[in-house]
Amino acid sequence: MKQSRARTFRLEADVDDSIARLAREDRVSVSHLANRALRRYVEWDRAPTTEGFVSVPSMLLVKLMTELSEERAHELGKWAGKQLFLPNMKAGYATLSLENAENNMRMLGDYGRRFTFEHADEEGMHVFTIGQKMGRNWSAYYAGSLESIFEGFLGKAVKVILSDNMCVVQFKGRAPP
Amino acid sequence: MLSSLQAGSKGEYIYDRTFRHQVLPRSVTRTLRIDDDVDEALEKMARERGESVNAIAAGALRKLVEWDRLAANAGLVVVSPVTLGRLMDSQTVEQARALGEFVGKEVWKPIIVSRYGEVTLDSVLKSIELIGRYMGRFNFIYSTDGAKRVVTIRHSGGIKWSAFYQGAAIPLFSGTLGIDIKQTMTEELASIEFETPENFVRGA
């Protein structure tokens, strides 16, 4: 169980009232709700590797990606994996490792809200699954990203399965620590 | 004339004159139970930024109540600005404007109604400021001179993003409020000018 401590804050009354209302609606304690928001703020909103990221309507991303071919979406994903994800992971964790890649992807999924993410390790067969609802080209984009991420520091090819809502990447063997 | 200029967290913006005489907001103390690692991260951030832990936490909690819930309900997702820029590169200026119109109608307008209950000039202006502040894409400037009003969005995305913002303004100002607007744009600015009576709330 996580250790916690009590801290007293001075808040504007309207913010305090609104947090109390949201906590009632969610049937959680004010501390629980505030803690979650503060965690998001330090881990994501103001983290050095993600500060400057922007919020956009998912509908806009769907429309923008629809203009590209599947191959172009895949290429864009490869570029993003190599030029954005890997350098960001190194900046955030210092080391490129499977565990750090998994943490980074989980955070992108949880806080970025573009996809859900799962990792299974079945006797040395790693399976990374990204679920999303923005169409096949986005699956191709994530496939390209995962390929360049894992090929980037594993140094070997990975197997990719695509569908309209899902992208699955598999590779066998022990990844570098 | 630029009136009642107030510094915003991400740049400049101007609230309507009616905000000029507002009193300082009332504050309360609230004791919260915070995970140790979150508390330590707040302390570290405060030291690095030369701010108090309280100021950082208060900003984060204001964002929670003003934006996070709204963003999740409106289907907003987070993306790297570089990736977004590459995607927009594949559009023409006219396509970018059409995308803006789509987003103005299908996303911004529902956000305004959800946040303020109705689409009025005041709620549109407040919402554009809110969207700029939390979506991280632009700064909002609003100036008035008698009946003349100018809304300017300043950004660093280039001409296609200017066209996008102009497009997004159309369903709000022309469509819903019924205001005749004049638009101009540069690489970094999208401006709309219009005239309304001083006590204008919404169109017919």
Tell me what the mean pLDDT of segment A91-113 comes to: 89
Q: Which of B39, B65, B136 sits opposite A54 (nearest CB)?
A: B136
Distance from CA of A172 to the nearest CA of B (A): 30
Token readout for A146 is 């995962």
Q: Is residue B157 part of a domain?
A: yes
Q: For residue B13, give the H/E element and its range.
A: strand B11-14
Chain A (6-65) residues lying within 8 Å, Cβ to Cβ, of chain B: 6-16, 18-19, 22, 30-31, 33-35, 37-43, 45-46, 50, 52-61, 63-65
CATH code of the domain containing A161: 3.30.1380
pLDDT in tens, B157-189: 999 999 999 999 999 999 999 999 999 999 999
Q: Is residue B60 part of a domain?
A: no
Q: Is residue B151 part of a domain?
A: yes
Tell me what the mean pLDDT of segment A90-106 comes to: 87
Give residue B18's pLDDT.
Answer: 45
> In degrees rounded to 5, what are phi and psi of residue A128?
-105, 125
A151 with A109, same domain? Answer: yes
A57-66, B60-69, B130-139: the lowest-pLDDT one: B130-139
| pLDDT for residue B19 is more than 70 | no
Q: Do A41 and B56 touch (CB under 8 A)?
A: yes
Give residue A136's pLDDT.
Answer: 96
Distance CA B191, CA B185 (A): 6
State CA B81 to chain mean position distance. Answer: 17
Number of structural domains found in chain B: 1
A79 with A153, same domain? Answer: yes
Q: pLDDT grade, residue A50 (50/70/90)?
A: confident
Tell me what the mean pLDDT of segment A152-167 comes to: 88
Distance from CA of A19 to the nearest CA of B (A): 6
- Set of chain A residues whose Cβ sits within 8 Å of the Cβ of B72: 113
How is chain A classified by DSSP, letter by letter? ---EEEEEEEEEHHHHHHHHHHHHHHTS-HHHHHHHHHHHIIIIIT-TTTTT-EEEEHHHHHHHHHTS-HHHHHHHHHHHIIIIIHHHHHHHHSS--HHHHHHHHHHHHHHH-S-EEEEEEETTEEEEEEE-SS-HHHHHHHHHHHHHHHHHHH-S--EEEE-SSEEEEEEESPPP-
Q: Do A2 and B71 touch (CB under 8 A)?
A: no
Give residue B20's pLDDT.
Answer: 46
Tell me what the mean pLDDT of segment A13-36 comes to: 96
- Segments forming the whole domain that contains residue A141: 58-172
- Set of chain B residues whose Cβ sits within 8 Å of the Cβ of A19: 30, 61, 64-65
- Segments forming the whole domain that contains residue B174: 5-18+92-195
Report ipTM for this prediction: 0.88
- Set of chain A residues whose Cβ sits within 8 Å of the Cβ of B29: 8-11
Q: Is residue A94 part of a domain?
A: yes
Contact between B49 and B41 (Cβ < 8 Å): no
Q: Is residue B127 part of a domain?
A: yes
A39 with A64, same domain? Answer: no
Could you tell me what percent of chain A has a pLDDT over 70?
Answer: 98
Q: Is residue A6 part of a domain?
A: no
Q: Do A57 and B106 touch (CB under 8 A)?
A: yes
Q: pLDDT grade, residue A174 (50/70/90)?
A: low
Q: Do A2 and B102 touch (CB under 8 A)?
A: no
Q: Is residue B78 part of a domain?
A: no
Tell me what the mean pLDDT of segment A108-132 comes to: 92
pLDDT in tens, B66-81: 999 999 999 999 999 9
Q: Is residue B124 part of a domain?
A: yes
The residue count of chain B comes to 204
A35 with A92, same domain? Answer: no
Q: Is residue B31 part of a domain?
A: no
pLDDT in tens, A59-71: 999 999 998 999 9
| pLDDT for residue B25 is more than 90 | no
Number of structural domains found in chain A: 2
Distance CA B25, CA A90 (A): 42
- Set of chain B residues whose Cβ sits within 8 Å of the Cβ of A54: 78-81, 84, 135-137
Q: Is residue A51 part of a domain?
A: no
Distance from CA of A120 to the nearest CA of B (A): 25
